[in-house]
């Protein structure tokens, strides 16, 4: 286990090492067609207050009804993260007055969350870019389902409320206080995001508020079991703000201790633009949410068949895929890192690898050429005209020696533009290696060997690489269109007889 | 002598409408005329939209002429308690908070009544947010009891009971959280049915206490109540607490279910505080059932003494939460004095809510507060389970229970200024809500001063058909509902 420690230059003789303890509360908006307790559509970027109905607006007499797709999604998230799915879960009202909350209570889960335990696998930075870092499982406390609130837009003299976001299904993923550095928190959030996107649970676009994060941070002397006083840091609105904000808060707490002060339990607001934070409220000012079971919603029992159906829909997660790619396809770490974080890309790779039987070559084409072209064209992988079958066919042409590397690059570019099959492009543009007359090739090989006695002697003395010296003149004679594999074979056959 | 149209039962009027002896417009006009004549004295209505009612009546006549009548409720004027949403009509809950609120949607029961062809006439007065037992807590002034204008009609659905007794509606809907249909029905001499929790959708009913609220009919006869119940009952996918159960033809079942029944008399419901005249009337009802061949058995509901406390913890807790949405931010009363958002909440709610509503919000907020939840709310829920179990145990040996509906007849306006004295009016009705059971109040006599007395029959969950048949058996042997107030 990695634990990052911070040394505080002490005013006294001895210097104490402190360690940070971090727990994250991550809110993930669930991607469902409609809102969590009513049929009105969920969405982002619509005309303000257009995604509303009596239920969303909390009009007199309106009642919530659970959206089963949202339940499916959170159970799936729980299964992906190894949580225990509660056999029965219930819904509670979390009560506080704020204009973004139309009912002045939020339907949430208090003491019987739907997912308990579980963990998030993270990877810490390796010693170098091409070296895999240490892996670690961050234990989860719980995941629960709740409804999102509306959005306030503050003007100079008044505030406007947009309830479009209100009622969007939201899950809160709560970790144990088990992280010890901003890097770990960063890796944790990255892993959660990948998992949710993989599971089709959320798009996790932080700019659209689909992934939001609050951090509970404390410090304690290394070796001390008891947790220090925690500070909750809010508004960590991008993944880099999470890292910067936590880093900032750890330093702030160390500085307080260093000055001989004590940490106050409070909620602080982090401003990512200025890299500063300020106190929002202290423990004494904390809300009493007066949770109680929502009498409008019945408890939900999740049976084995329901879980099994969702379990069957759970995809392999990125780290598991990465281990499999390394084991099954003998891919290097860096290449797997490129392939596994995007589920569509990983699937694309596997399909092309299976079709061609050449995973390494396919991986290289994807990492070096396909991603570059997609980036230039600013398109999604799904709309690339180069499908796995195209790429597999191209790899096979190169492997068979039918086209040479330089020609293959040209074929790829055209294939990307037109979607034509590589064979057809090679044919049309005369990019195939010349169909060589074997007698002619053999004669060029004999000539080349005869012209280089030194290399012949070296080869006979056991230096295998000396054979390369014969290849240049042969290719020259063939005007570059000879099949290199055939040249190699022919040379070896002739040399063996000498 | 034939009764005027506005005092006849649905069954009688439906027959005349079907025979084209009268038109729906004629009937609605008669009810409107009666309402205009009595409203200055009764004040059962918060508002009425006569033009829309007459248009609905005209549409009903067109349907009937085309041979497309929707059934017994087509063309029948029905009034709704002002806590049930009707699209484009005011929905005030008799509160200043919602004085100017117009509902943009129909409650499920409203949709169902519209589909049955009913003419929806009037928004009926009640205690503010259905909190009270006298309709005196209305922000728009109290309703008077048509039998004695100096007395209350009961509550909280006092307007629904009084309008029906006065002839300003042929049937009405109310809501019952702790007795709010049955107690005013008993005070006003009409039939009032509180269905099993979950039988009628609450979607579009302004919530007071969600786990107790239930919409139900007021009617002149048990058969009329069966007809209205049949129209409004049934599972609603917009109310998660509505129960998936087949809805029988309650009216047809009345003839099919003829007993004899085993009737339990809970001894705890005949103790101190019961008015002797009411006690005597109920005893006579027991004797009547005995004569019918029913087995009468004394039973015990040992946790009855905890009903009132349990109710006032659970109901107020839920109310404190349900009423949080009335904050002046998006709709409802907004104080003109507010300086900032917190002030807006305080001022709007201080100005918008009446004293009883504030009292219950404060009580409910307290019992849910951190450190008190276990001692109050959680314990009350446990006691609630015991109370329900009492009833279910009794149903091991009897089919139904018989009690007075209210310990006292209609009292004078302003008589009960002490909230606790008011709360005691509901001691015989509250247990039924806590247990989620169906119960009906039917007229069972009059006091010497000519005030109606109600008999409460409590049924088994979702066994409304049995309950209605049992009530009708009593009704057929008496003529209490032939009497009408002298207005």
Measured between alpha carbons, how far is B27 from B109 in angstroms, rounded to an integer?
Answer: 22
Residue B329 and residue A65: Cβ atoms within 8 Å? no
pLDDT tens sequence across A34-88: 999 999 999 999 999 999 999 999 999 999 999 999 999 999 999 999 999 999 9
Number of domains in chain B: 1
CA-based nearest distance A125→chain B, Å? 44
Q: How crowded is residue B309: how many other Cβ atoms within 10 Å of its Cβ?
A: 14
Report the DSSP pairing between strands B400-404 and B262-266.
Answer: parallel
SS3 state at A41: strand
Q: For position A10, what pLDDT does the model report?
A: 38
CA-based nearest distance A103→chain B, Å? 4
pLDDT tens sequence across B276-285: 999 999 999 9
- Does a structural domain hold residue A280? yes
Interface test with A, best of B202, B212, B318, B324 (most A CBs within 10 A): B324
Chain B residues with at least one Cβ partner in A under 8 Å: 83-85, 91, 93, 98, 101, 103-105, 107, 202-207, 209-211, 237-241, 317-318, 320-321, 324-325, 327, 329-331, 341, 345, 365, 368-370, 373, 377
Q: Which residues of A fall within a CB distance of 8 Å from B329?
A: 99, 161
Residue A7 has pLDDT above 80, yes or no: no
pLDDT tens sequence across B88-129: 999 999 999 999 999 999 999 999 999 999 999 999 999 999
Residue A292 and residue B241: Cβ atoms within 8 Å? no
Q: Which residues of B fall within a CB distance of 8 Å from A64?
A: 240
Measured between alpha carbons, how far is B472 from B191 in angstroms, rounded to an integer?
Answer: 10
Residue A68, classified by CB atoms within 10 Å of its CB into exposed (0-12), middle (13-18) or buried (19+), is exposed
- When pLDDT is averaged across residues A155-178 and rounded to a whole number, the result is 95
Is B376 within 8 Å of B315 (Cβ atoms)? no
Contacts of A298 (CB under 8 A, 6+ apart): B240, B241
Q: For position B1, what pLDDT does the model report?
A: 56
Is B197 within 8 Å of B164 (Cβ atoms)? no
pLDDT band with cut points at 50, 70 and 90 for residue B11:
very high
- When pLDDT is averaged across residues B350-371 and rounded to a whole number, the result is 97
- A255 with A360, same domain: the answer is no
Q: Give residue for tokens 């248009």.
A: B55
- Of A405, A428, A451, which residue constitutes the final position of a domain? A428
Q: For position A479, what pLDDT does the model report?
A: 77
Q: Which of A321-325, A403-407, A453-457, B344-348 has the lowest mean pLDDT?
A: A403-407
Q: For position B421, what pLDDT does the model report?
A: 85
- When pLDDT is averaged across residues B405-423 and rounded to a whole number, the result is 93
Residue A290 and residue B321: Cβ atoms within 8 Å? yes
Residue B368 and residue A95: Cβ atoms within 8 Å? yes
Residue B325 and residue A58: Cβ atoms within 8 Å? yes
- A60 with A10, same domain: the answer is yes
Residue A449 has pLDDT above 80, yes or no: yes
- A468 with A396, same domain: the answer is no
- A116 with A254, same domain: the answer is yes
Residue A93 and residue B321: Cβ atoms within 8 Å? yes
**Domain of residue B24, residue span:** 5-264+397-482
Measured between alpha carbons, how far is B4 from B22 in angstroms, rounded to an integer?
Answer: 12
- Does a structural domain hold residue A433? no
Residue B84 and residue A61: Cβ atoms within 8 Å? yes
- When pLDDT is averaged across residues A153-172 and rounded to a whole number, the result is 94
pLDDT band with cut points at 50, 70 and 90 for residue A11:
very low
- Does a structural domain hold residue B229? yes
- A256 with A327, same domain: the answer is no
Residue B49 has pLDDT above 60, yes or no: yes
pLDDT band with cut points at 50, 70 and 90 for residue A432:
confident
- A256 with A144, same domain: the answer is yes
**Domain of residue A379, residue span:** 316-428
Q: Which CATH number covers residue A460?
A: 1.10.10.410
> Across chain B, what does the average pLDDT equal?
97
pLDDT over 70 percentage in chain A: 96
Type and span of the H or E element at B84: none
Q: For position B240, what pLDDT does the model report?
A: 97
pLDDT band with cut points at 50, 70 and 90 for residue A358:
very high
CA-based nearest distance B281→chain A, Å? 38
Q: Name the residue facing A66 among B101, B240, B368 (closest C-beta).
A: B240
Measured between alpha carbons, how far is B87 from B103 in angstroms, rounded to an integer?
Answer: 5
Residue A292 and residue B321: Cβ atoms within 8 Å? yes
Number of domains in chain A: 3
- A111 with A32, same domain: the answer is yes
Taking the Cβ of residue A104 and every Cβ of chain B, the question of whether any pair is shorter than 8 Å is answered with yes
Measured between alpha carbons, how far is A40 from A52 in angstroms, rounded to an integer?
Answer: 6
Catalytic residue list contains B95: no
pLDDT band with cut points at 50, 70 and 90 for residue A404:
confident
SS3 state at B226: helix
Residue A439 has pLDDT above 90, yes or no: no
Q: For position A437, what pLDDT does the model report?
A: 66
CA-based nearest distance B120→chain A, Å? 18
- When pLDDT is averaged across residues A3-8 and rounded to a whole number, the result is 49
- When pLDDT is averaged across residues A104-115 and rounded to a whole number, the result is 97
Residue A59 and residue B331: Cβ atoms within 8 Å? yes
Residue A286 has pLDDT above 80, yes or no: no
- With CA atoms as reference, the chain A residue closest to B84 would be A61
SS3 state at B349: helix
Measured between alpha carbons, how far is A441 from A435 in angstroms, rounded to an integer?
Answer: 10
- With CA atoms as reference, the chain B residue closest to A106 would be B321
Find the catalytic residue in B23, B156, B175, B186.
B156
Residue A102 and residue B317: Cβ atoms within 8 Å? no
Give the start-end residues of each E strand in B234-307.
Answer: 262-266, 295-299
Q: Name the residue facing B91 among A60, A63, A93 (closest C-beta).
A: A60
Measured between alpha carbons, how far is B457 from B45 in angstroms, rounded to an integer?
Answer: 29
Find the catalytic residue in B69, B81, B186, B242.
B81
Find the catalytic residue in B48, B138, B180, B186.
B180
Q: Which residues of A fall within a CB distance of 8 Å from B104?
A: 54, 59
Residue A61 and residue B373: Cβ atoms within 8 Å? no
- When pLDDT is averaged across residues A203-211 and rounded to a whole number, the result is 94
- Of A393, A428, A463, which residue constitutes the final position of a domain? A428
- A406 with A476, same domain: the answer is no
Interface test with A, best of B103, B329, B332, B361 (most A CBs within 10 A): B329
Q: For position A6, what pLDDT does the model report?
A: 53
Q: For position A434, what pLDDT does the model report?
A: 64
- Does a structural domain hold residue A53? yes
| Residue of B281, B262, B83 lying closest to B174 (CA atoms) | B83
In total, chain A counts a number of residues equal to 498
- When pLDDT is averaged across residues B425-454 and rounded to a whole number, the result is 97
DSSP state of B267: G
DSSP state of B145: B
- When pLDDT is averaged across residues B302-329 and rounded to a whole number, the result is 97
Q: For position A13, what pLDDT does the model report?
A: 35
Q: Name the residue facing B206 among A60, A292, A298 (closest C-beta).
A: A60
- A301 with A405, same domain: the answer is no
- Does a structural domain hold residue B411? yes
- A258 with A336, same domain: the answer is no
Measured between alpha carbons, how far is B369 from A236 in angstroms, rounded to an integer?
Answer: 31
Q: For position A475, what pLDDT does the model report?
A: 84
Q: Which residues of A fall within a CB distance of 8 Å from B204?
A: 61-62
- Does a structural domain hold residue B270? no
- Of A309, A324, A353, which residue constitutes the final position of a domain? A309
Q: For position A15, what pLDDT does the model report?
A: 67
Taking the Cβ of residue A93 and every Cβ of chain B, the question of whether any pair is shorter than 8 Å is answered with yes
Chain A segment 21-60 residues within 8 A of B by beta carbon are 54, 57-60
Structure token digits, residue B158: 């006092």
Catalytic residue list contains B81: yes
Q: Which CATH number covers residue B53?
A: 3.90.1300.10
Q: Name the residue facing B203 among A63, A93, A297 (closest C-beta).
A: A63
Report the DSSP pairing between strands A115-116 and A135-147.
Answer: antiparallel
Chain A segment 133-162 residues within 8 A of B by beta carbon are 159, 161
Catalytic residue list contains B382: no
- Does a structural domain hold residue B153? yes
Report the DSSP pairing between strands B119-124 and B171-175.
Answer: unpaired
Residue A61 and residue B203: Cβ atoms within 8 Å? yes
Q: Which of A375-379, B184-188, B242-246, B420-424 has the lowest mean pLDDT?
A: B420-424
Is A137 within 8 Å of A97 (Cβ atoms)? no
Is A142 within 8 Å of A108 (Cβ atoms)? no
Measured between alpha carbons, how far is B282 from B277 in angstroms, rounded to an integer?
Answer: 9
Structure token digits, residue B275: 């008015």
Residue A236 has pLDDT above 90, yes or no: no
pLDDT tens sequence across B52-93: 999 999 999 999 999 999 899 999 999 999 999 999 999 999
- With CA atoms as reference, the chain A residue closest to B376 would be A292
- Does a structural domain hold residue B166? yes
pLDDT tens sequence across B445-456: 999 999 999 999
Chain A segment 250-289 residues within 8 A of B by beta carbon are 288
- Does a structural domain hold residue B382? no
pLDDT over 90 percentage in chain A: 76
Residue B240 and residue A59: Cβ atoms within 8 Å? no
- A361 with A447, same domain: the answer is no
| Residue of B460, B451, B453, B439 lying closest to B393 (CA atoms) | B460
pLDDT band with cut points at 50, 70 and 90 for residue A436:
low
Q: Which of B187-191, B256-260, B429-433 has the lowest mean pLDDT?
A: B256-260
- When pLDDT is averaged across residues A170-193 and rounded to a whole number, the result is 96
Measured between alpha carbons, how far is A491 from A497 in angstroms, rounded to an integer?
Answer: 10
Q: Give residue for tokens 């299904």.
A: A169
| Residue of B426, B352, B354, B358 lying closest to B134 (CA atoms) | B426
| Residue of B226, B151, B41 lying closest to B425 (CA atoms) | B151
Residue A60 and residue B238: Cβ atoms within 8 Å? no
- A295 with A352, same domain: the answer is no
Q: Order of strands, edge to edge, in the sheet holding A292-293? A: A105-108, A92-95, A292-293
Q: Which residues of B fall within a CB distance of 8 Å from A66?
A: 240
């Amino acid at each position: 286990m990695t634990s990052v420690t911070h040394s505080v230059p002490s005013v006294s003789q001895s210097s104490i090492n402190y360690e940070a303890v971090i727990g994250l509360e991550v809110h993930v908006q669930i991607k469902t067609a409609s809102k969590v307790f009513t049929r009105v559509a969920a969405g982002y970027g619509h005309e303000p207050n257009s995604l509303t109905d009596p239920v969303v607006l909390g009009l007199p007499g309106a009642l919530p009804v659970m959206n089963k797709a949202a339940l499916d999604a959170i159970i799936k998230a729980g299964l992906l993260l190894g949580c225990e799915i509660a056999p029965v879960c219930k819904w509670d009202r979390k009560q506080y007055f704020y204009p973004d909350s139309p009912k002045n209570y939020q339907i949430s889960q208090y003491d019987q969350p739907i997912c308990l335990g579980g963990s998030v696998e993270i990877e810490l930075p390796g010693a170098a870019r091409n070296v895999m870092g240490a892996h670690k499982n961050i234990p989860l406390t719980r995941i629960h389902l709740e409804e999102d609130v509306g959005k306030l837009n503050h003007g100079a003299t008044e505030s406007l409320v947009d309830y479009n976001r209100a009622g969007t299904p939201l899950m809160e993923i709560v970790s144990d206080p088990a992280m010890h550095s901003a890097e770990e928190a960063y890796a944790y959030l990255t892993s959660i995001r990948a998992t949710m996107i993989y599971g089709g649970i959320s798009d996790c676009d932080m700019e659209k508020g689909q992934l939001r994060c609050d951090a509970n941070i404390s410090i304690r002397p290394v070796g001390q079991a008891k947790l220090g006083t925690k500070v909750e840091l809010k508004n960590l609105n991008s993944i880099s703000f999470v890292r910067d904000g936590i880093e900032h808060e750890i330093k702030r707490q160390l500085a307080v201790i260093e000055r001989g002060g004590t940490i106050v339990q409070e909620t602080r607001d982090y401003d990512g633009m200025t890299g500063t934070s300020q106190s929002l409220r202290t423990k004494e000012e904390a809300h009493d949410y007066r949770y109680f079971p929502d009498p409008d919603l019945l408890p939900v029992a999740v049976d084995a068949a329901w879980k099994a159906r969702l379990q069957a829909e759970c995809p392999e997660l990125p780290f598991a895929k990465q281990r499999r790619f390394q084991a099954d396809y003998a891919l290097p770490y860096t290449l797997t890192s490129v392939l596994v974080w995007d589920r569509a890309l990983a699937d694309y790779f596997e399909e092309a690898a299976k079709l061609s039987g050449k995973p390494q070559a396919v991986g290289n084409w994807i990492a070096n050429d396909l991603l570059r072209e997609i980036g230039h064209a600013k398109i999604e992988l799904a709309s690339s005209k180069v499908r796995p079958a195209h790429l597999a066919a191209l790899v096979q042409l190169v492997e068979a020696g039918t086209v040479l590397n330089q020609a293959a690059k040209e074929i790829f570019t055209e294939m990307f533009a037109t979607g034509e099959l590589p064979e057809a492009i090679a044919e049309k543009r005369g990019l195939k290696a010349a169909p060589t007359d074997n007698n002619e090739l053999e004669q060029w090989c004999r000539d080349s060997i005869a012209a280089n006695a030194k290399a012949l002697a070296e080869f006979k003395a056991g230096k295998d690489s000396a054979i390369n010296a014969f290849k240049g003149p042969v290719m020259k004679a063939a005007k570059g269109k000879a099949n290199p594999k055939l040249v190699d074979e022919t040379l070896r056959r002739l040399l063996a007889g000498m | 002598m034939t009764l005027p149209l506005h005092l006849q039962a649905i069954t009688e009027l439906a027959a005349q409408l079907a025979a084209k002896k009268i038109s729906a417009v004629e009937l609605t006009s008669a009810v409107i005329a009666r309402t205009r004549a009595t409203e200055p004295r009764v004040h059962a209505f918060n508002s009425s939209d006569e033009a829309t009612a007459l248009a609905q009546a005209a549409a009903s006549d067109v349907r009937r002429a085309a041979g497309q009548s929707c059934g017994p409720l087509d063309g029948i004027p029905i009034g709704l308690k002002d806590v049930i949403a009707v699209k484009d009509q005011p929905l005030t809950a008799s509160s200043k908070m919602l004085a100017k609120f117009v509902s943009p949607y129909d409650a499920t029961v409203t949709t169902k009544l519209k589909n049955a062809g009913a003419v929806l006439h009037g928004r009926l007065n009640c205690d503010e947010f259905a909190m009270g037992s006298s309709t005196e807590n209305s922000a728009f002034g109290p309703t008077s009891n048509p039998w004695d204008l100096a007395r209350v009609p009961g509550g909280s659905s006092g307007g629904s009971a009084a309008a029906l007794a006065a002839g300003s509606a042929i049937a009405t809907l109310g809501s019952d959280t702790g007795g709010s249909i049955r107690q005013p029905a008993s005070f006003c001499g009409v039939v009032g049915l509180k269905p099993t929790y979950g039988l009628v959708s609450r979607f579009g009913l302004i919530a007071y206490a969600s786990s107790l609220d239930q919409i139900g009919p007021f009617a002149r006869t048990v058969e009329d109540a069966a007809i209205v119940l049949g129209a409004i009952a049934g599972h609603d996918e917009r109310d998660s607490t509505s129960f998936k159960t087949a809805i029988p033809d309650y009216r047809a079942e009345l003839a099919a279910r003829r007993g004899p029944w085993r009737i339990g008399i809970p001894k705890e419901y005949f103790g101190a505080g019961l008015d002797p005249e009411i006690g005597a009337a109920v005893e006579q009802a027991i004797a009547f059932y005995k004569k019918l061949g029913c087995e009468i058995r004394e039973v015990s509901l040992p946790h009855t003494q905890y009903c009132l406390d349990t109710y006032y913890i659970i109901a107020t807790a839920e109310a404190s939460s349900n009423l949080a949405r009335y904050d002046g931010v998006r709709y409802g009363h907004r104080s003109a004095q507010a300086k900032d958002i917190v002030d807006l909440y305080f001022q709007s709610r201080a100005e918008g809510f009446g004293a009883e509503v504030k009292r219950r919000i404060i009580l409910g907020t307290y019992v849910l507060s951190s450190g008190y939840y276990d001692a109050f709310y959680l314990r009350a829920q446990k006691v609630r389970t015991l109370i329900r179990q009492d009833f279910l145990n009794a149903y091991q040996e009897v089919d139904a229970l018989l009690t007075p509906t209210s310990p006292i007849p209609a009292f004078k306006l302003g008589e009960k200024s002490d909230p606790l004295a008011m709360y005691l009016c509901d001691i015989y009705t509250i247990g039924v809500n806590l247990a989620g059971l169906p119960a009906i109040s039917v007229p069972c006599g009059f006091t010497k001063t000519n005030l109606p007395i109600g008999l409460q029959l409590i049924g088994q969950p979702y066994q409304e058909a049995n309950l209605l048949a049992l009530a009708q058996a009593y009704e057929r042997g008496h003529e209490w509902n032939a009497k009408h107030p002298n207005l």
